[in-house]
Amino acid sequence: MIGADPVHPSAVCLFLLTKLNLEEKHSDMRTLQQTLEEEKKKRATKSSGLHSELEAEYEQLLSQIANLR
């Protein structure tokens, strides 16, 4: 550009480092988001399995109570 002030090389380095840092943070945030979603799925699956086990035990107890009567 004609008449434009030259940009100091250290300013360019600082800009590039800042941009790289932001990209790394964005990548870290995406990784954390994926990890969070995976944990939610694991907990939901575990909760569902536990719920099924409790229902089966409940039905078994009801059957035992009915047999005692």
Kindly tell me the sign of the dihedral angle through the C-alpha atoms of 45, 51, 54, 55.
Answer: negative
As separate numbers, helices (DSSP H) first and strands (DSSP E) second, the chain gives 1, 0
- Tens of pLDDT along the chain (69 residues)? 566 677 788 988 999 999 999 999 999 999 999 999 999 999 888 888 888 889 999 999 999 999 887
Q: How far is CA 63 from CA 3, 35, 59, 69, in A?
A: 91, 42, 6, 10
The pLDDT of residue 63 is: 92
CA distance 41 to 34: 11
